[in-house]
């Protein structure tokens, strides 16, 4: 108890310096926490992916379609429970700045495959009954102020022209890891329309979404599907939803890695600042240490004193930083909901924050401690002079 | 009379450990700041150099990239007949109808962890080559038109598996032989695979071209050609200068990088500024007696203020120099990532421009200045008697 009191007294001996250092640490831990959250929200889609869903796409690359006639063939494969399909529509609302993911899907099966998208029964019925109907996530609807029954027009970037929809339902996520910024409409609506203008692009789908009976045999099912279409005009590549989503992130790997690296740089910067503070403190207190040594305290006690002081400072700053991370993440997540539909601070991030705070304290205290232990009593006392 | 510059400099030297720690914090911030700007600049430079100002790109209206676009053969024939199209030395129109698709290829690296990425396959015509003088063959030979042969850009040959010379690729139920590797310098073409357009379209069952590239017969003919294409009721196409077309493709990603970089460094700089402040406050308090002596000798308050500001600006300057020194080595690094806008792989280098050097130095000096202002004010406000008594 006595020790703790001394540590706090020492740490706040120079109020201005301690305040500045703590502020610096709080900012650094806040930045570190936000960056880790940015990285983890890149992977939010992977975390949310179900193990019982497979995605089949064209083996050449994602931009090539598959014929709709594959539906029934895939349904016959052993282990397949449900088959749904859809296209990336790539439409924009009013102009390109208003980007959100929009897909046309086979609605009945798609929502059966995604039980985490919760839609009110009445709304669902009216959506299924209306071919021009659309479903939007709650966050998306809130962002643009859409209500059920509103008319929405999207400008097609892949399928030219203006496309009119009636918002028939709004889905909510079963929990807060579900992306609520997506927009879905009937595949048949798109197909009927392009049949007239671009017959060569009709009757094709961008991907098949497949529900399997048992997740543990999903790999065999995937192989069976790909084997069936081997050496055909449109060869397929089937993988779990997780692997599929991971593939997208792997493409922007360089950026994720850069953010990860930068998040460690901030820790280094603050380490330099804290090390500086500790160096100054111990230099000023050389005389004190010499007196302690004269009284018979050993190297161990002095080490405890310096490390303890560094810990008091970094942990105070760290705790403030962690406390600030939550409101900051909420504000940031609201601003950037286009890029990061799910933005949550994970428990892991908090652990890493705490570890970082300890690390900063220890590394910053090493050199000053060595210096304080090595100094000879006579030299130390002389400096009071 | 001003306090000599060497006074500030030697004070920093006297307390080396503290100076090194403060400067290294600042150097790291400047390094990150410069590196992110260099990345955005490199991306933009690569895409701007890809285009040439005399060339025009024709794509379907509202399509943001060639991959999304489609140009029907009928429309292509109309554009080909425009009077603004330059003539080659044999009198043929300098126009190329091209087809652009993406294929997934496996990146080089460990068998388990290496991932797929989208690579551009461009179907070209004979005229495509004179339209892109930057493209030079470095090994092998050019592809023969009418055959299943491809040539590969050097960034792709370096970064992906199975695209080396004499290796074969399989797509569209056909085998394609890599017969040459080309270098297109610091442009986007280095991240592409080229084959014969008719073969590529046949293999991918594409009835329409993706885009057309042509050379203007006169640099000023741009407006006339643009009007002719966009006002023609038979066509749903739009025409852009090639330079603008590629610059537009870099916009979203460059903006993302800039926003990310600037907001990060602003947060980081708070740490570095605090570091400078701590250093300068302690410099002031440990030198109280000295300040008193200086004042007693006749130096004015503003001389003292200036001396301490110089000291903290020096901290920022040294930090900035070290940060930029290390950042300049980043120029040797080429990164390859997917451009969000075109959804295809693009390799580019970190590029240091004079503008970035300026911005980084201004940033570093600003950090030093902000960190030093309060301590320097405190030093200049001390009363002579109190300061002298402190000794």
Chain B stretch 197-216, residues whose beta carbon is closer than 8 A to a beta carbon of chain A: 204-205, 207
Which pLDDT value is given to residue A383? 64
pLDDT band at B252 (very low <50, low <70, confident <90, very high): confident
Q: Pairing between strand A151-156 and A91-93? A: antiparallel
pLDDT tens track for B190-222: 999 999 999 999 988 888 899 999 999 888 889
Q: CA triplet B358, B322, B33: central angle to 5 degrees? A: 50
Question: Taking CB atoms and an 8 Å limit, are B271 and A28 in contact across chains?
Answer: yes
**Residue of chain B nearest A250, judged by CA positions:** B115
- Cβ-count burial of B385 within 10 angstroms (0-12 exposed, 13-18 middle, 19+ buried)? exposed
B60:A255 CB<8 A? no
CA distance A2 to A44: 47
Contact, B61 vs B220, CB < 8 A? no
Exposed / middle / buried, residue B255 (Cβ in 10 Å: 0-12, 13-18, 19+): exposed
* Token pair in block for residue B273: 């500024």
For residues B1 and B105, the model is more confident at B105
Which string of b and e fits B86-106 if b means at least 16 CB within 10 Å?
Answer: beeeeeebbbbbbbbbbbbbe
On whether the CB atoms of residues B164 and B151 are closer than 8 A, the answer is: no
Q: Mean per-residue pLDDT for A195-199?
A: 84
Q: What pLDDT does residue A163 have?
A: 93
Q: Count the alpha carbons within 13 Å of B141 in the hemisphere toward its beta carbon.
A: 4
For range B225-246, the mean pLDDT: 90
pLDDT at B113: 62
Burial track B147-172 (b if 16+ CB lie within 10 A, e otherwise): ebbbbbbbbbbbbbeebeeeeebebb
- pTM of structure: 0.82
Q: How close is the nearest chain A Cα to the Cα of B116, in Å?
A: 7
For residue B369, name the pLDDT band (cuts at 50, 70, 90). very high
A273 and B60 within 8 Å at the Cβ level: the answer is no
SS3 B204: coil
Residue B208's nearest CA partner among B78, B56, B98 is B98
Mean local confidence (pLDDT), A187-197: 91
Q: Is there a contact between B233 and B161 (Cβ–Cβ < 8 Å)?
A: no
Q: How do A183-186 and A117-118 pair as beta strands?
A: unpaired
The answer, yes or no, to whether residue A315 has pLDDT greater than 50, is yes
Q: What is the mean pLDDT of residues B243-266?
A: 83
Q: Which of A33, A64, A200 to mutate to test the interface with B (most CBs of B within 10 A)?
A: A64
- pLDDT, residue A385, reads 41
Domain ranges of chain B: 5-48+249-389, 62-235
Give the pLDDT score at B344: 84
Residues B375 and B280: beta-carbon distance below 8 Å: yes
pLDDT at B161 over 80: yes
- Whether the CB of B282 is below 8 Å from some CB of chain A: the reply is yes
Residue B391 has pLDDT above 60, yes or no: no
Q: Do the Cβ atoms of B68 and A157 come within 8 Å?
A: yes
Q: What percent of chain B has pLDDT over 70?
A: 98
Q: How far apart are CA B232 and CA B150, in angstroms?
A: 35
C-alpha distances (whole Å) from B179 to each of A6, B17, B125, B194 are 76, 59, 17, 11
Question: Which chain B residues are Cβ-neighbours of A160 within 8 angstroms?
Answer: 60-63, 236
**pLDDT of the residue at A238:** 92
Cα separation of B85 and B91, whole Å? 11
Q: Among residues 92-131 of chain B, which lie with CB inside 8 Å of chain A?
A: 101-104, 115-118
Please compute the mean of the pLDDT values over residues A309-313 and round it to a whole number. 91
Reported as a single tens digit per residue, the pLDDT across B329-343 is 999 988 888 887 778
Least confident of A4-8, A93-97, B114-118, B305-309: B114-118
User: Which of A275-289, A342-356, B86-100, B175-189 is the least confident region?
Assistant: A275-289
Strand partners, B151: B180, B194
- Neighbouring C-beta atoms of residue B139, cutoff 10 Å: 14
Q: What is d(CA A269, CA A143) in angstroms, rounded to the nearest whole number? A: 38
Alpha carbon of residue A41 to chain centroid: 1
Whether residue B23 contacts residue B321, with contact meaning beta carbons closer than 8 Å, is answered with no
Q: With 60 as the cut, is the pLDDT of residue A384 above it?
A: no
Taking CB atoms and an 8 Å cut-off, how many pairs form between chains A and B?
Answer: 138
Q: CA of A122, closest CA in chain B: separation in Å?
A: 37
Task: Average the pLDDT over each of A248-257, A313-322, A358-367, B375-384 and give the range with the smallest value.
Answer: A248-257
> Structure tokens of A238?
């089937």
Please check whether residue A208 is in contact with residue A56, taking contact to mean a CB–CB distance below 8 angstroms.
yes
Q: pLDDT-derived band of residue A158, with 50, 70 and 90 as boundaries?
A: confident
**Residues in contact with B278: Cβ distance below 8 Å, sequence separation at least 6, in sequence order:** A17, A20, A21, A273, A276, A277, A280, B22
Residue B111 has pLDDT above 80, yes or no: no
CA distances from A275 to A12, A22, A125, B11, B52 (A): 16, 13, 64, 19, 53
Find chain B residues with C-beta within 8 A of A92's C-beta.
none
C-alpha span between A17 and A312 (Å, rounded) = 14
Sequence-separated (6 or more) residues with CB below 8 Å from residue A18: A11, A12, A277, A313
pLDDT tens across A235-263, in order?
A: 899 999 988 888 878 777 777 888 888 88
pLDDT at A334: 81
Closest residue in chain A to residue B31, using alpha carbons only: A265
Q: Sort B252 into a burial class: Cβ within 10 Å, 0-12 / 13-18 / 19+.
A: middle
To the nearest whole percent, how much of chain A has pLDDT over 70?
99
Q: Domain-by-domain residue ranges, chain A?
A: 2-44+253-382, 60-234
- Chain B positions touching A259 (Cβ under 8 A) are 260
Mutate: best of B274, B341, B350, partner A, most A CBs <10 A: B274
Output the pLDDT for position A110: 95
**Dist CA B132 CA B194 (whole Å):** 13
Given the DSSP bridges, would you call strands A133-137 and A162-173 parallel, antiparallel or unpaired?
parallel
């Amino acid at each position: 108890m006595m020790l703790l009191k001394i540590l706090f007294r020492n740490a706040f001996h120079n109020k201005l310096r301690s305040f500045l250092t703590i502020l610096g640490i709080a900012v650094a831990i806040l930045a570190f926490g936000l960056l880790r959250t940015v990285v983890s929200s890149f992977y939010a889609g992977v975390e949310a992916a179900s193990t019982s869903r497979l995605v089949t796409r064209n083996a050449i690359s994602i931009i090539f379609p598959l014929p709709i006639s594959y539906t029934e063939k895939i349904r016959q494969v052993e282990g397949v429970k449900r088959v749904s399909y859809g296209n990336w529509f790539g439409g924009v609302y009013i102009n390109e700045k208003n980007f959100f993911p929009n897909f046309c899907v086979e609605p009945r099966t798609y929502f059966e495959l995604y039980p985490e998208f919760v839609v009110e029964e009445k709304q669902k019925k009216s959506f299924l009954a209306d071919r021009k109907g659309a479903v939007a996530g709650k966050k998306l609807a809130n962002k643009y102020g859409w209500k059920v029954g509103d008319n929405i027009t999207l400008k097609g970037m892949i399928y030219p022209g203006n496309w009119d929809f009636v918002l028939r339902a709004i889905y909510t996520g079963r929990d807060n890891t579900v992306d609520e910024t997506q927009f879905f409409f009937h595949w048949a609506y798109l197909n009927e329309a392009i049949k007239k203008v671009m017959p060569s692009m009709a009757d094709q789908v961008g991907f098949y979404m497949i529900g399997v009976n048992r997740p543990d045999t999903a790999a065999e099912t995937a192989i069976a599907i790909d084997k069936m279409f081997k050496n055909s005009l449109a060869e397929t590549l089937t993988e779990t939803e997780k692997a599929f989503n991971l593939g997208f992130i792997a493409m922007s790997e360089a950026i994720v890695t850069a953010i990860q690296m930068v998040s460690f740089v901030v820790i280094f910067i603050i380490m330099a600042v804290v090390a500086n503070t500790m160096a100054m403190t111990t230099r000023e207190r050389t005389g004190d240490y010499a007196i302690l040594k004269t009284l018979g305290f050993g190297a161990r006690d002095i080490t405890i004193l310096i490390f303890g002081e560094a810990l008091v400072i970094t942990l105070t700053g760290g705790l403030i930083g962690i406390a600030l991370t939550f409101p900051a993440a909420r504000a940031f997540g609201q601003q950037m909901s286009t890029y990061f539909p799910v933005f949550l601070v994970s428990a892991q991030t908090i652990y890493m924050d705490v570890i970082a705070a300890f690390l900063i304290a220890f590394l910053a205290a090493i050199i000053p401690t060595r210096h304080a232990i090595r100094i000879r009593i006579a030299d130390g006392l002389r400096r009071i002079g | 009379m001003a306090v000599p510059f060497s006074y500030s400099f030697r004070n920093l030297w006297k307390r080396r450990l503290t100076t090194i720690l403060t400067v290294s914090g600042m150097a790291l911030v400047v390094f990150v700041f410069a590196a992110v700007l260099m990345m955005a600049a490199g991306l933009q430079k690569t895409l701007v150099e890809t285009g040439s100002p005399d060339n025009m790109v024709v794509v379907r209206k509202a399509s943001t990239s060639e991959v999304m676009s489609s140009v029907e053969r009928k429309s292509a024939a109309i554009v080909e007949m425009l009077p603004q199209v330059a003539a080659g030395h044999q009198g043929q129109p300098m126009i190329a109808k091209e087809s652009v698709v993406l294929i997934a290829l496996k990146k080089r690296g460990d068998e388990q962890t290496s991932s797929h990425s989208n690579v551009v396959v461009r179907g070209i015509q004979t005229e495509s080559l004179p339209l892109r003088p930057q493209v030079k063959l470095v090994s092998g030979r050019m592809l023969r038109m009418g055959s299943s042969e491809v040539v590969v850009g050097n960034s792709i040959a370096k970064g992906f598996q199975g695209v080396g010379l004499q290796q074969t690729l399989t797509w569209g139920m056909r085998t394609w032989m890599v017969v040459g590797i080309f270098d297109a310098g610091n442009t986007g073409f280095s991240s592409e695979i080229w084959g014969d357009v008719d073969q590529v379209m046949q293999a991918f069952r594409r009835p329409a071209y993706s885009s057309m590239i042509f050379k203007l017969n006169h640099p000023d003919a741009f407006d006339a050609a643009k009007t002719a294409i966009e006002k023609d009721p038979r066509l749903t196409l739009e025409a852009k200068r090639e330079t603008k077309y590629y610059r537009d493709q870099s916009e979203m990603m460059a903006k993302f990088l800039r926003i990310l970089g600037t907001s990060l460094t602003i947060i980081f700089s708070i740490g570095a500024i605090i570091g400078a402040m701590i250093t300068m406050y302690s410099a002031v308090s440990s030198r109280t007696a000295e300040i008193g002596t200086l004042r007693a000798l006749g130096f004015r308050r503003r001389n003292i203020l200036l001396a301490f500001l110089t000291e903290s600006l020096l901290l920022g300057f040294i930090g900035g120099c070290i940060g930029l020194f290390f950042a300049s080595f980043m120029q040797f690094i080429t990164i390859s990532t997917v451009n969000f806008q075109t959804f295809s792989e693009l390799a580019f280098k970190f590029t240091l421009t004079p503008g970035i050097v300026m911005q980084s130095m201004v940033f570093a000096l600003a950090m030093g200045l902000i960190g030093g202002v309060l301590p320097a004010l405190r030093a200049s406000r001390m009363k002579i008697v109190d300061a002298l008594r402190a000794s």
